Structure 1
């Protein structure tokens, strides 16, 4: 009973729950599996990422794949409150992709076929899921355009401020985010070297545009780089 109540509470924190009736919420909770993953562990290593859809209740996750030479490529960073694995519904997620916890995480998991059946019976849910998929595709397209058309310094700048805008929370005069990525990780996300990342973000710090330590990164909310609330 406590497990069901925990899943119901976790699910109710997601915008998706607003598209579900109480009966549908109960059915989804009965289909969800809630798991805890320690920092550094692979999320559901027994399945590839395309078999399930994941609701990230706590923590931060990175989506990665391996090159033929064994080098890790980071494709995306998933924050608390996000849903990932959605492109598996469209056969748009690579079976070689996998997810790793950047910090201790709580994930609720539903298999793709169960979610498809629920979407077929609820057009509000169907539209919402496809909207999320569209947002993910647009994000990947913007990243590809950045890799093709922009230089290394610009790519790193854009990543830093996109990260702050997406993962940061307001704290006094600042937007502050947990700094969970190494310079090597940022290099993998921006196709740049670790040395270039270090030089670029240290330059931003020297200029007073950002500040960071081993745990957090922050920027003044008044900065033109920080998105203003609508």
Structure 2
């Protein structure tokens, strides 16, 4: 089974929220296939309706559209309901760095909690949808429900661990090891979502991969070609098929 995987400012953000091209639809955790990975994980059945009362809407985000941009005021957390988005930070000289890949079930917007402003941008890699979670209401629910507070803390910790692991990838692994680690990570995350771990559409461009892995576009392309020649993977455009997963693990 194939699956997609895996920055204007406040005025643009508000316009996007109200745009007819970004309609809102109802969202229910109890009927969402990603609830085992998302906010409801670990909640008692009696607590789920309280969370659903907060997450009453889902918003569509078109490919290439920014859900929010660095510098936008923070008041909302999001959960990816379908599709995928990348997070991007800008250097002082204007260069952009891809910092994360968010798949269905992943949280978005946690970066804004510290300063009440988003420190990165979130951009849709494909037509996607996100659930809308007002942060002030979520804080109130956390005070009422210890399990919800524990879940929010776990989500924050998981994001910290993922970012720390990415720093290790950038700081200590070779080009081959970086690309292999990335493909294995996407493979594992797809499996957690009930999709094929061996075959998937990688929505990130080769340039995005290079930015995320601290490599040039040319190095990414050469590495993937080398993997293909060695029989580790097969690539056809964005379609990636892992042929020898143990071979990737032992690079």
The interval holding the TM-score normalised by the smaller chain is 0.7 to 0.9
Distance 1:113 1:119 in 2: 10
SS at match of 1:96: coil
Summarize the Cα distance change of 1:48–1:75 in structure 2 as closer, same or farther, 3 Å threshold: same
| Structure 2: runs of 5+ lacking an equivalent | 1-22
> Which residue of structure 2 lines up, in the alignment, with residue 196 of structure 1?
219
How far the C-alpha of 1:155 sits from its partner, in A, is 1.6
**SS of residue in 2 equivalent to 1:17:** coil
TM-score when normalising by structure 2 = 0.76
Listed one character per residue, the Cα deviations across residues 58-115 of structure 1 (whole Å, up to 9, x for unaligned) are: 11011111112222111100111222223444x2897330110100011111222221
The alignment partner of 2:87 has SS state of strand
Larger deviation, residues 211-220 vs 191-200:
211-220
Aligned to 2:238: 215
2:27 matched to which residue of 1?
A: 7
Q: 2:54 aligns with which of 28, 42, 55?
A: 28
CA deviation map 1:133-185 (0-9, x unaligned): 111101111111222222233222211221222236655xx711212122111
Within 2, Cα distance between the matches of 1:36 and 1:115? 21
Worse-matched range after superposition: 161-170 or 196-205: 161-170
Shift of the 146–129 alpha-carbon distance from structure 1 to 2, 3 Å rule, reads: same
The residue aligned with 1:39 is: 63
Q: Deviations over 1:24-72 (max 9, x none)?
A: 144224xx44211111111145983743210111110111111122221
SS at match of 1:189: helix
SS at match of 1:224: helix
Say whether the 8 Å CA contact 1:85–1:93 is kept in structure 2.
no
CA distance in 1, matches of 2:104, 2:219: 29
Distance 1:92 1:212, change over 3 A: farther
User: Superposed, which structure 2 residues align to 1:110-189 within 5 Å?
Assistant: 110-167=133-190, 170-171=195-196, 175-189=198-212
Measured in 1, the distance between the counterparts of 2:70 and 2:90 equals: 17
Match of 2:100 in 1: 76
1:165·1:226 contact (CA, 8 Å) conserved in 2? no
Contact 1:49/1:97 (CA < 8 Å) preserved in 2? no
The residue aligned with 1:224 is 246
**Cα distance, 1:146–1:48 mapped onto 2, change above 3 Å:** same
> Shift of residue 225 of structure 1?
5.9
Which has a greater percent of helix? 1
Match of 2:77 in 1: 53
State how far apart, in whole Å, the 2-side matches of 1:93 and 1:197 are.
36
Structure 1 pair 201/4, CA: closer, same or farther in 2 (3 Å)?
closer
| Superposition TM-score, scaled by structure 1 size | 0.82
8 A contact 2:232–2:247 mirrored in 1: no
Question: How well do the aligned residues superpose, as a CA RMSD in angstroms?
Answer: 2.9
> Distance in 2 between the 1:82 and 1:193 partners?
27
